[in-house]
Amino acid sequence: MLFSIIIFIITLLILVLIHEFGHFLVAKKFGVEVQEFGFGIPPRIWGKKIGETIYSINWLPFGGFVRLRGEEEEIAAAGKEKLSNKDFRKKSVEQRIAVVMAGVLMNLILAWVLFYAVIIGQNFKIIYPVAETGVYIAAVEQNFPAQKAGVQTGEKLILIDNQQVSNIDSAKDLIKSKKGLPINLTLTDIDGNHLRQIDITPKEMDDGDILIGVIFSPVPFREYTSASEKIFSGITYSFDLIKLTFAGFGSIGSDLLYGDFGQASESISGPVGMAAITNDILSLGVAAALPYLWFVGLISLTLAIFNILPIPALDGGRLFFLLIEAVTKKPVKEDIERSVHQIGFLILIALALLITFSDLRKILF
């Protein structure tokens, strides 16, 4: 477990550094002074100043930050025109938006790269994101009835002879119960659309088993076959995950609205919970390489999504105020924006502690 925790901490460090490095690079490009590049949330454990930037490690390992000149100071009475050219506020609103968005873009690109690696490593086949488990066709075997009938990898099995298929065991039992007689399968695509029915006659094996020649899975697998699908697979897969993530946000919001806090907590994991998942994946040994790359890609994508939301103290919250300025041609008063971010920061710290407590409760109890 200790080894898994170390690996996860290193992974989180890399993800945060890549995110903040995006802010750092674009800020430097536009001539903004970067005062601090920090991993974790203060108070500070260690820091070293190199050039004009302090590189620091902080006590709470829930994220990181880049502190830019002018982000926390008030504008002098003489006005914006008296600010240093290295001041963040001196830059155009378009440049400031680019600086804020750079971290999100870096995490998104990293997720694409990792998903491409996993997809290519699995011969352009990957687990497909769905909100609920079902009975999916993970593979179709050669020279069996399913292949001849046109069953496709990734399809969802809904009915067998108009009887509901609730899980893999029920599907196998229904097929066997027909004793090799023709059966009717009702199938849909991965998303539950394009319903179709096919007739198929199972094959009786020498050992008496009755098969149609498919491998079932509780979750679907997406197979990219055409050249265009393969070229854009890492990107399209990311957007499939984004759709599922927002569906998950809606489900969590509904649970909270109706007071089902236990179910909501089961749907959320923080660093402790992700460290436990890391341990589960790494326990696979050599076979853990691709699953762990997928997991890291998922974390990177989640960081991109979470940071772009209009939550105070996060990139999305800062972007929200910049968009107001871009539309109205007037910046929001600095004391108002600062107060909103400070309150948001305190709320995020409280949520981080609650999620950590929830993760520990799941592991220990």
User: Would residue 305 count as lying in a domain?
Assistant: yes
User: Would residue 323 count as lying in a domain?
Assistant: yes
Q: Is 269 in contact with 359 (CB distance < 8 Å)?
A: yes
The C-alpha angle 22, 24, 27, rounded to 5 degrees, equals 105
Q: Is 127 in contact with 220 (CB distance < 8 Å)?
A: yes
**How many domains, in total, are found in the chain?**
2
Domain end, chosen from 191, 223, 255, is at 223
Of 19, 4, 3, which Cα lies nearest the Cα of 299? 19
Domain end, chosen from 201, 223, 245, is at 223
Taking only the tens place, the pLDDT of each residue in 211-259 is: 899 988 888 888 898 999 999 999 999 998 998 888 777 776 666 666 6
Q: Give CA–CA dist 41/63, Å, rounded.
A: 6
What's the pLDDT score for residue 317? 93
Query: What's this model's pTM, rounded to 2 decimal places?
Result: 0.78
Block means of pLDDT (10 residues each) for the chain, length 365 residues? 81 88 94 90 89 88 80 54 82 95 96 96 86 84 90 90 88 85 91 89 84 88 90 94 80 66 59 75 82 92 91 91 94 88 85 76 66
What's the pLDDT score for residue 358? 75
Residues 115 and 142 in one domain: no
Q: Give CA–CA dist 288/49, Å, rounded.
A: 38
Residues 68 and 154 in one domain: no
